[in-house]
Structure 1
C-alpha cells in the first residue's frame, strides 16, 4: 500500500475507487466499506484507495480535542493495508480542505487529485465547508460527471449501529469485553514504561506503568484482565487504570502486572490489550487491604488466562 500524507505528494497515480470516511476506528462497518471498495476496484481494473484525515475535523473546528482516538495512526494504516488497499490518502484536515465547498471538494480533491471513478461512503457521510456535502450530492454529481457512488446502509451488530462513537462509549464505560465484537480486535493502548511509585513492588506485585495518552480514549477506572505485548510476545497480565486512591496518587495511569515475568521494562515500549473488567477502582483503608484485593484480582485473571 502506498501512503500519501499531502495533496502535493499525490502524483502519477492511476484511476481509483475511493472509500470515503474518517475511519477513526477501522471497525467492522469501516472494514466492510473498504472490502467492497477493494472488490469493486479489482473488478473494474482500477486502484483501490482510502481517504481519511490524520487529525479529526471536529477537533480542528472546536479548537480543542473533543474527540478521542481509538487507534494510533500506525495501527490505522496497518489495518487498512491488511485489507489489500492500494493507496491511502491520509491527509491533514487543514485550512485549504476545511474551506473547500462541497462542490469543490468533489471536483478539486476527489476527481482532480484522487482520480476517482467510483466511491463508497456511509449513509451519514458529510464533507465540504460546514459539512454541507452528503451522499445525495455525490450521487447527483456522479450522474452529471460520470462517476459511480455506492452508499452503504447502516451497519448493525446485535441491533447496535456500529460506529466510532458507540465504540468510544463502550471503552469509556469499561465494557472492553465487547470491543472485539464490533472492532474485530481487542482495544489496546501503548506507551513507554515509566518509573512509578514502586508500591506494587514492595507488596509483591511489580507493575509496568505507562502514562495516559490524552489523545486516546481510555477505559474507566478499574482493574482489567489484559495481555501485555512486549517485543512481539503476548504476556498474560492484570492491569489497573486509575488514580490509585489508596496511596494518594492522583494522576491517572495504566499499570500492568505481568505474570511470571521478571524483566526490567523501564524505557521500553509495551502495548496493553484489554480483555475484560474485573472491578471498579476502590479506595482501601490501608495498603494491606489493597494487597489482599490485588491477590484476588490476580487469581481471577489467572483463571481467565488458564495459568
Structure 2
C-alpha cells in the first residue's frame, strides 16, 4: 500500500474510489467502508483510497474531549493495508482544514485532488466547517461533481452498532472479548520492554514490563490471557495491568509473563493481544500467596489459548502462528457475531 502524507502532496493520475474516516481502530464498521472502496476499484478500475486524518480531529477541535485511541497511526496504516486499500492519504487535520466549508472540501479535495468516482462514508458521517456537511450532502452534490456517494449502514454486533466509542467502553470495562468481536481481531498494544524490579522473577514468574505509547486505550486493570508477538512468532502469556498492590502499589503498568520463553527480553519490542480477562488485580498477603494465584492464572490462560490467532493483521500478519508451546483463541473467531453493513465515526469537522 502506498502512503501519501497530505492531500496537497499527492494527486491521482487515475480515478479513485475513496473511503473517508478517522478510522480509529479500523473496526468492522470501518472495514465495510474500506472493502466497498476496494470492490469498486476492482470492478470499475482505478485505485482504492482511504482518506484518513492525523491528528484525531478532536485534538484540534476540542482537546479536552480527545479520548484515548485504539491504535497508533502506524497501526492504522497496517490495518488499512490489510483491507486491500491501494493508497492511504493521511491528511493533516489542522485549523485550516477544520475551517474549510463542506462543499469546498467535496469539490476541491474529493472531485479535484483525488479524482473520486465513488465515495464511501458511514451513515453518521459529518465533515467541513463546524461539521455541517453530511453524508446526504455528498449524495446530493456527487452527480454534479462527478462522483457517486455510497452511505454504508452500521455493522451490528450483539444488536448494537459498532463504533470506536463503544469499543473503548468495552476495553475500559475489561471486556476484551467483546472488543475483539467489534474489531474483528484481538485488541493489541505494542511496546518496548523496560528494566523492572525483578519481583516476578523472584517468585518464579519473570515478567516483561512494557513501555507503551501515550494516548492509547489500556484495558481495565486486571489479569488477562494474552498472545504476545515476539521474534516473529506468537507466544501464550499472562498479562497484568495494574499497580502491584502486593508490593506497595505505584504507577499503572502493563506487565506480561510469556509462558514458554525464558530469554531476557529487555529492550525488545513486543505486541500484546488481549484474549480474556481472568480476574481483577488484588492485594495478596505476600509473595507465596501471589505465586500460588499466578500458577492458577497460568492454568486458566492455557485453557483460553489453545489456538493461535494466525493471520491477525497486527499480531501475526505473516500467518506464522504460535511459537513452541500452545496455540490461540478458543471458541468463535473474534467478531463472528457481526452482521453486514458499516459505519465510520466522526466527532466534528472532517473525519
CA RMSD in angstroms comes to: 1.6
Which aligned runs of 4 or more in structure 1 are off by greater than 4 angstroms? none
Which secondary structure state, in structure 2, belongs to the residue aligned with residue 112 of structure 1? helix
Q: Which shifted more, 240-249 or 284-293?
A: 284-293
Q: Which of 1 and 2 has higher RCO (CA within 8 Å, sep 6+)?
A: 2
TM-score normalised by structure 2 residue count = 0.84
- Residue 272 of structure 1 corresponds to 272
**Quick check: 1:286 aligned with 2:286?**
yes
- Residue 200 of structure 1 corresponds to 200
**Quick check: 1:217 aligned with 2:220?**
no
Q: Which shifted more, 71-80 or 245-254?
A: 71-80
- Residue 102 of structure 1 corresponds to 102
**Quick check: 1:127 aligned with 2:130?**
no
Distance in 1 (CA, whole Å) between partners of 2:21 and 2:94 is: 16
Which secondary structure state, in structure 2, belongs to the residue aligned with residue 143 of structure 1? helix
Q: How many residues align?
A: 307
Query: Is 1:171–1:218's contact at 8 Å kept on the other side of the alignment?
Result: yes
Distance in 1 (CA, whole Å) between partners of 2:234 and 2:65 is: 32
What is the CA-CA distance between 1:64 and the residue it aligns to?
A: 4.7
What is the CA-CA distance between 1:96 and the residue it aligns to?
A: 1.9
Distance in 2 (CA, whole Å) between partners of 1:67 and 1:108 is: 30
Deviations 1:51-102 (A, max 9, x none): 1112110122123572222122222212211222222111221122111011
Which secondary structure state, in structure 2, belongs to the residue aligned with residue 209 of structure 1? strand
- Residue 231 of structure 1 corresponds to 231
- Residue 146 of structure 1 corresponds to 146
Query: Is 1:58–1:66's contact at 8 Å kept on the other side of the alignment?
Result: yes
Aligned positions of 1:1-307 closer than 5 A: 1-64=1-64, 66-306=66-306
- Structure 2 spans left out of the alignment, 5+ residues: 307-325, 327-351
Distance in 2 (CA, whole Å) between partners of 1:7 and 1:155 is: 29
TM-score normalised by structure 1 residue count = 0.95
What is the CA-CA distance between 1:218 and the residue it aligns to?
A: 0.7
Query: Is 2:32–2:152's contact at 8 Å kept on the other side of the alignment?
Result: no
